[in-house]
Amino acid sequence: MHIGASANLQVVDKFCYLGDMLSVDGDADAAVQARIQIGRNKFRQLVQLQLQLEMWANAQRDGTPAEHRWRPLFNAAKFG
């Protein structure tokens, strides 16, 4: 596509704009799939953090020394 004297645009089927997937036919499937994947990844991170916090709280109730309680929590913060 040619616009003006010096601007050329590439025609594509879909592209990401402000974090949303747009497609040439106006279909929202790509956007919906991208949002589902983002939500799934964030939920997985929150579940891991919640489990680590519960382990830390249980260790605290059991009388585990503080330096041993914090170690699993710091390892989980990587969310690799």
Can you tell me the distance from the alpha carbon of 53 to that of 69, in angstroms, rounded to the nearest whole number? Answer: 10
Burial profile 38-49: b = 16 or more Cβ within 10 angstroms, e = fewer: eeeeeeeeeeee
pTM of the model: 0.47
CA 10 distance to own-chain centroid? 29
Structure tokens at 8: 């050329």
**Alpha carbon distances (Å) from 42 to 39, 47, 49:** 5, 9, 11
Q: What does the pLDDT look like over 6-58, one tens digit per residue?
A: 777 788 888 888 877 778 887 788 788 888 998 999 999 888 888 888 887 77
Can you tell me the distance from the alpha carbon of 28 to that of 9, in angstroms, rounded to the nearest whole number? Answer: 23
Structure tokens at 38: 């983002």
